[in-house]
Structure 1
C-alpha cells in the first residue's frame, strides 16, 4: 500500500466517524453508576456518572449542585446531606453527570472559579456543552444566580432554592431560564429579594418561575428536590 493511499484510508470519513463514535472511557478514580470523590485543580467534589456512561458515545447533560453554608469545610460527606447528591447516595439514578463541589470554610461561591471548573469538566468528561445546568440551596441558591449572571453562556438553566441574586444585574442572563423555590416563612433568607430577582428577570424578557411553599421556613429544599418535574425540566433545557 502506498503512503498516499494509506493516508486516505486513515482519514476516510467512515473511519473517522467510527473513531468519534467510540464510547468514552471513565477517568481514573471514577466509576459509572457510583458517586465518587474527585479533585481537579485544587477543587474537591463528588462526581456521579450514569451507569451507561461508558456504553454510549453521545455526550451527557451535566448538573452542578451548590450546597449551603452549613456544608462548607473539609468533610466532603457533608455535601451529601441535602439535594441531588443525597438522593444519588440513597440510590436514585440521576440520568446525567452530577457534580457536587465543596466550599472551604468561610468561602462563598465564586462565579470565576465555577466557570473555570466547568471548563475543566468539559475537557475531562463526556459533557454536552449545550445542556449544562446548575441548582443550589441557600448560599448555593445565591451562588447559581451569581454564576448565571456573570457567565450566562455557561448554563442552559438554573434552579435556585431559598436564594436570590442581584435584580440590577439579572438582565445579563435573560436567556437562562429559571425555576426557583422558596419558603414563605423563611427567616434565614428572606423571600422578598428572591421575588425581586424573578420579577426583574421577567421584566428583562427572561423566563422564570418561583414556587413559594406556604408555611415553610428555610428548609424549602426538602419539597423542592422532591418536585417530580424539577429534574426533567433541567434535563430538557438546551442552549440555543
Structure 2
C-alpha cells in the first residue's frame, strides 16, 4: 500500500511539472487575476529559475483561466524547449471589462486607432501581473515579458513603467507610448514583431517604436513579416531563435 502511494505521488509530481497548472492571484484590493503557470522540468524548489510572462490578446480575455492559453502554449510545452530552457512560464488572464494597456481605442476606423497614454493610472490587471511576478521566487536578474496584440501593448507598458524589472521583452503586433522610450531603450533589449499587412493594429506602431529606440542610440531587433495580417504571433512563435534570444539576456 505504501509503495502504491509513493508511486501515485511521484506520478502526480511528474504530471504537475510537465503541464500548466491553474492558479489565481488576489490583489490587496480583492481583485482576482487568473493565471496558469508552468514549472521547469525536474523543478527543484530551492533553485532560482528565470521567469517569463506571456500576455494574451483582447480576444482571450475572461475569467475561465483557459482562453489565454490559445496562442503560444505549445512552444513552452515542447519537450526540447523544456530541456534547453529551464524557466517558470506564466500566462495571466485579463478580465473582459479591462485591458492590459492604458490606451484609448477607436474601432470605427480601419485600421483601428490606438492612442497610448501612460500618464493615466495603470490598469489593475497589469499591476496585478507585476505584483504576481514579484511574489514568485525566481532569478530576478532574468525576468522576461512578451505578449501579442493587446498583450504586446501591455508588454511595452510594463517595460515602460518598470524598466528595472525586465531583462528582455518581445512585443508582438503591439504599440507603445513613445514618450517613455528613454526609460528603457538602453536598459531592456527588445525584439519587436509585426505583420506589414496588419489591419487591426497598424504596423506603424512597431515601426515608430523601433525608430524611437534607435534614436536613443540603442539597438533593437525587429522582424516585420511581409503580407502578414494581425496574426503575426504565428510567425513570431515559429522563430527558431525566439527562446534562445530571450533567455540569453540578464540584467
- Sort the TM-score into its range (normalised by shorter chain): 0.7 to 0.9
With normalisation by structure 2, the TM-score equals 0.76
- Corresponding position: 1:64 with 2:53: yes
**Structure-1 residue corresponding to 2:226:** 214
Q: Distance in 1 between matches of 2:39 and 2:130?
A: 16
- Say whether the 8 Å CA contact 1:35–1:48 is kept in structure 2: yes
Q: Secondary structure at the match of 2:178?
A: coil
Q: Distance in 2 between matches of 1:101 and 1:162?
A: 19
Question: What's the CA shift for 1:201?
Answer: 1.1
- Corresponding position: 1:35 with 2:35: no
Larger radius of gyration between Structure 1 and Structure 2: 1
- Say whether the 8 Å CA contact 2:99–2:123 is kept in structure 1: no
Question: What's the CA shift for 1:121?
Answer: 3.6
- Corresponding position: 1:149 with 2:138: no
**Structure-1 residue corresponding to 2:201:** 189
**Structure-2 residue corresponding to 1:5:** none
Question: What's the CA shift for 1:79?
Answer: 1.0
Moved more, 175-184 or 203-212: 203-212
Q: Distance in 2 between matches of 1:40 and 1:199?
A: 37
The structure-2 alpha-carbon separation of the partners of 1:120 and 1:73, relative to structure 1 and needing over 3 Å to count, comes to closer
The structure-2 alpha-carbon separation of the partners of 1:124 and 1:177, relative to structure 1 and needing over 3 Å to count, comes to closer
Once superposed, what is the RMSD of the aligned Cα atoms?
2.2
Q: Distance in 2 between matches of 1:143 and 1:120?
A: 15
**Structure-1 residue corresponding to 2:115:** none
Unaligned runs of 5+ in 1: 1-27
**Structure-2 residue corresponding to 1:47:** 37
- Corresponding pairs, count: 208
Match of 1:87 among 75, 93, 97: 75
Q: Distance in 2 between matches of 1:151 and 1:124?
A: 17
- Corresponding position: 1:179 with 2:164: no
1:98-134 CA deviation, whole Å, 9 max, x = no partner?
0000000031115575455444444343x10010000
Unaligned runs of 5+ in 2: 1-12, 27-31, 102-121
**Structure-1 residue corresponding to 2:212:** 200
Q: Secondary structure at the match of 1:177?
A: coil
**Structure-2 residue corresponding to 1:73:** 62
Question: What's the CA shift for 1:233?
Answer: 0.7
Q: How does 1:69-148 map to 2 (within 5 A)?
A: 69-83=58-72, 85-88=73-76, 93=82, 95-109=86-100, 113=124, 114-125=126-137, 127-148=138-159
1:57-112 CA deviation, whole Å, 9 max, x = no partner?
431111100000000012222111102x2434576635210000000003111557
- Say whether the 8 Å CA contact 1:173–1:206 is kept in structure 2: no
**Structure-1 residue corresponding to 2:175:** 164
1:142-181 CA deviation, whole Å, 9 max, x = no partner?
1101110111011111000111112222111121110011
Q: Secondary structure at the match of 1:53?
A: coil
With normalisation by structure 1, the TM-score equals 0.80
**Structure-2 residue corresponding to 1:227:** 239
Q: Secondary structure at the match of 1:54?
A: coil
